[in-house]
Amino acid sequence: MTRSPRVCIVIPTYNEVENIRGLLGGLREVLESRGFGDFEIIVVDDDSPDGTWRAVLEESARDSRVKLVRRVGVRGLGSAIVEGLGRCSSDYSIVMDADFQHPLGVVPRLVEEALRNNADIVVASRYSPGGSIRGWSFLRRIVSLGALALAYTLVGESRRTRDPISGFFLVKKGVSLEGVNGASYKVLLEILAANPQAKVVDVPYVFERRLKGSSKLGFRDTIDYLIQVLSISRMARFALIGLTGIPVNLGVMALLLSLGAPVDIASLTGIEASVAWNYTLHELWTFKYKFRGGFASATSRYVGYHMSVLAGLATQYATMRSFYTLLGVNPLLGQLAGIVLGFLVNFLLSRGLVWRRAY
């Protein structure tokens, strides 16, 4: 007989004293009855004023499978989750909330689906057929859908699940947590971005009403999420670096002009300086290639990047010209449209041809 896998449940808590005892008891029951008795539960509490951590300590004295991480002087749902995941050494780690909004019965199903599909990541999903949300206000629903749309638009790796912003999910041992720091509370999104090759499976579930205690997430968390998505997004990084290339270009050109260089030389040198600048930063940051493949392959990407830049510049000029000539649009507006389209062409070619997939 094969042994059942070891499972580690990470539960972040802040002021959940009314929920935590019942949750730990319920989890123990559901896991044992489904044959997953070899588990550990890691509660990461940020020194809750209501004494949640004390209740967890009492539980862990009774059952050594329950462990407490009490963080003093630190707060944050995302970092608490990352801290807990870092302490798991089991075959499967599961992240869930302490307030019964994530139904206990779904926990063993996540493990069963992981085993059945040999999946690396299993997402408990509210947005899959059969899943739903009970008791959310219209506003909260809209904010959640906005967050979902943003993730889908900016982080391609998130499109492998219906609910990349879920707080309820499983990761198999071996899934990389490199660069996952929990700066916002959407840790799953960071994990998906860090593991583009991982096999992802969804399990639909109904997100329940909170019966005791209150939600801790607020406006500040929404802002943190926005910053987070932007920093994960390759397209956003590409655009940011593109912007920094503009002063490099003009600065070098102005310097050469002031030294008396001819205009064409100054202009071309400025362009080349910005291309080299952008290339290096894309290599190191946007696509994080770390000069993989040695000098020869870096050189071929450098040449490739020039060609994609040329295509982008051609797009820019052609857009401006056709807007101006065919539609009579103001050339500056045409130029602006050209910059946007040229940027897209440049990004897509760079991603598809120059820094191909392996990042």
Under rule CB under 6 A, residue 27 binds ligand GDD: no
CB 36 to ligand GDD: min, Å: 21
Stretch that binds Mn ion, among 83-91, 97-105, 278-286, 335-343 (CB under 5 A): 97-105
Pick the binder of ligand GDD from 10, 17, 42, 46 (CB under 6 A).
46
Contact set for ligand GDD, span 67-126 (CB under 6 A): 75-77, 80, 97-99, 101
**Per rule CB under 6 A, is residue 45 in the interface with ligand GDD?**
yes
Q: Does 217 bind ligand GDD (CB under 6 A)?
A: yes
Nearer to ligand GDD, 38 or 50 (CB): 50
Residue 97's identity, in one-letter code, is D
- In DSSP terms, 40 is beta-bridged to 8
Q: CB under 5 to 8 A by kind: which of Mn ion, ligand GDD, none does 44 bind?
A: ligand GDD
Q: Which of residues 99 and 283 has its CB atom nearest to ligand GDD in the complex?
A: 99
Q: Which of 16, 91, 99, 113 binds Mn ion (CB under 5 A)?
A: 99
Q: Does 101 bind Mn ion (CB under 5 A)?
A: yes
Residue of minimal Cβ distance to ligand GDD? 167
> Per CB under 6 A, does 44 bind ligand GDD?
yes
Using the rule CB under 5 A, is 233 a contact of Mn ion?
A: no
Phi, psi of 180 (to 5 degrees): -85, 110
Q: Between residues 45 and 91, which has the closer beta carbon with respect to ligand GDD?
A: 45
Q: Which is nearer to Mn ion, 19 or 308 (CB)?
A: 19
- Site membership for ligand GDD, residue 215 (CB under 6 A): yes
- By beta-carbon proximity to Mn ion, the closer residue of 101 and 195 is 101
Our finding on whether 205 is near ligand GDD (CB under 6 A) is no
Beta carbon of residue 244, minimum distance to Mn ion (angstroms, whole number):
40
